[in-house]
Structure 1
Amino acid sequence: MPYPDRRAYPDKFYPVVDSIAWVARLTKLGVGTIQLRAKDLNDSQALQIVSDALAVTKGTPTKLVVNDYWRAAIVAGAQHLHLGQEDLVEADLAEIRSAKLTLGISTHDDDELEIALRATPDYVALGPIFPTTLKSMRFVPQGIPKITEWKKRIGNIPLVAIGGIKFEQAAGIFAAGADSIAVVSDVTQNADPDARVRQWLGQNAEAA
């Protein structure tokens, strides 16, 4: 079953990071939802980093979302999972649901949205909203108007906007219909990440 309170998950500010150090730093700052996206790990490495991240967030209000490594997430006792389209094809959705993991899915175009909705996700991520230099993208930037269009299509399912988004653009993106904003470089490549996170958390409170 989908997550019982869709409004509470994911949080409006949703940073995506690639290391335990970042998970620990953001948890201490009081971030409510953090995605751990560490690429190219084997099974044992994935289980280790997921277990370590869960140990960091244990006993805190922070919800850890595991990107890609659904088997490690199940074994380690995670509660939240995010899959890209390629990962979704290979994942065992029945096993994921049996383990009571929430499921977020990345989408970039209409076909991917249809595929995602068939998996009854707990949220849908749309991106990239703006150009991003973090990885080569097969898809052109979607732009803010696409957020409004997709939110109308998916209804009560939370919509997460991702891709090149900075704090200064947050108000407009929420106004367009996004329920949450996934943030990468605006935190991890910021000259003062802690101050930036506090800005985002302040916006979070204002938008609540």
Structure 2
Amino acid sequence: MSLLGREVFWPPADELVEVAERIRARLGEWPDVSTRWRVCLTVPESPGAQDVIVFTEPHDADIDALLHAGAAVIEAHGERVTLRRGEARFALQGARSDDWLAALAAFLDCNFEPHDALVLALAWRAENATRDDAWPTDFDTFPRVADLLPAPEPRFPACPDALGLYPVLPSAEWIERVLDNGVLTTQLRRKTTDADDLKREIERSVTAGRKHQANLFINDHWREAIAAGAYGVHLGQEDVETADLGAIAQAGLRLGLSTHGFYEMLRALHFRPSYLALGAVFPTTTKVMPTKPQGLARLRRYVQLLKGRVPLVAIGGIDANVMSDVLATDVGSAAVVRAVTEASDVAEAIRALQTKFADQR
């Protein structure tokens, strides 16, 4: 867990390194970092992809040139902190402690990407280091994401705190099959460009959901979900900018949002969704993921922070072999795909998975 033996700050700052070392030692074991980050307090002579360059005062630096060189750039003024990396921009608002730069280095060393490490660094408080568990868990210390559109009114309807087993399925036939086997939460993820096929599949799935009084979500296709009177829709982070969240809320549909780390969780919570999906927990081949697998340790921290604020769903690479470990985080729900669709005996697979949920109660 040592930060010594490599350049952590530029220019070298022994006092900051000592504080970062103390914070890092309190955060426990995490996977080895994929990038040996360097926090730069001034612009280095040859900035590169391992550099996080921090400005806390007005400056005349060429930000575009730094970004072109691959560096990440943080500008911190008052309670507003903005991170830019490539074309991505992450704006945060909130108080920060005197140790936030040391905490940033420590969380980067825990293998968090800069935007998530920055969230944690801004949530860090000196008193964390005096607790048995030093990890930031007080939601009130976390920053908020700035520059977002207002959350829609009315709020999205609530869904159960624990959604249980949550199969994500490719067709209405599969939806009917799992609901007939006692599943109460499911999602239609229909991959098609055929509008007629999509309409038929959604309407058939919604009919099955009503028959079983189940929580049926439609992936992505929110217009068709509204038209069919679905229970809810599930959207990705990228969809928040393009979907009409107000229309979804006005129609009385529940909203589930995908998240892949602390920043995206805070961003999603701003819109007051009905649930958050946390993933991908493990490697998955069912879709291309924008981030590395989160793992159980991160999932546990996410649940620790968010449990009771919003229903949570673990997703990504989950099957019967890991289900008990996933549920041990107290997440309340877990989405599965191949654990059901590739099972030799679907009814038995569902029964075995449902038993694991019962065992955790």
Same fold, TM-score > 0.5, yes or no: yes
* Higher mean C-alpha deviation, range 24-33 or range 161-170: 161-170
1:61 CA displacement: 3.0
- How far apart, CA to CA, are the structure 2 residues paired with 1:111 and 1:61? 34
Cα contact 2:156–2:272 (8 A) shared by 1: yes
Residue 172 of structure 1 corresponds to 325
Residue 6 of structure 1 corresponds to 160
Residue 61 of structure 1 corresponds to 213
Matched residue SS, 2:328? helix
Normalised TM-score (structure 1)? 0.91
Cα contact 1:14–1:34 (8 A) shared by 2: yes
Change (3 A) 1:127 1:5: closer
Residue 114 of structure 1 corresponds to 266
Instruction: Tell which structure's C-alpha radius of gyration is larger.
Output: 2
- How far apart, CA to CA, are the structure 1 residues paired with 2:159 and 2:279? 24
- How far apart, CA to CA, are the structure 1 residues paired with 2:281 and 2:261? 12
- How far apart, CA to CA, are the structure 2 residues paired with 1:170 and 1:96? 32
Percent of pairs with identical residues = 37
* Aligned pairs, number: 206
Q: Which runs of 5+ in 2 are unaligned?
A: 1-154
Residue 158 of structure 1 corresponds to 311
Cα contact 2:256–2:276 (8 A) shared by 1: yes
Alignment-mate amino acid for residue 186 of structure 1: A
Alignment-mate amino acid for residue 7 of structure 1: D
Task: Summarize the alignment of residues 1-208 of structure 1 with structure 2, pairs less than 5 Å apart.
Answer: 1-4=155-158, 6-8=160-162, 11-156=163-308, 157-208=310-361
Alignment-mate amino acid for residue 60 of structure 1: H
- How far apart, CA to CA, are the structure 2 residues paired with 1:146 and 1:29? 32
1:100 CA displacement: 0.9
- How far apart, CA to CA, are the structure 2 residues paired with 1:88 and 1:101? 15
Change (3 A) 1:116 1:168: same
Matched residue SS, 1:59? helix
Alignment-mate amino acid for residue 329 of structure 2: A
* 1:140-189 CA-partner distances (Å, limit 9, x unpaired): 11000111211233232111111111113222211213110000111111
1:42 CA displacement: 4.7
Q: Please provide the CA RMSD for this pair.
A: 1.7
- How far apart, CA to CA, are the structure 1 residues paired with 2:349 and 2:332? 20
- How far apart, CA to CA, are the structure 1 residues paired with 2:208 and 2:333? 23
Matched residue SS, 2:212? coil
- How far apart, CA to CA, are the structure 2 residues paired with 1:191 and 1:43? 32
Q: Considering fraction of residues, name the structure with more helix.
A: 1
Higher relative contact order (CA 8 A, sep 6+): 1
* 1:69-94 CA-partner distances (Å, limit 9, x unpaired): 11111111112111111222211111
Q: Which runs of 5+ in 1 are unaligned?
A: none
Alignment-mate amino acid for residue 160 of structure 2: R
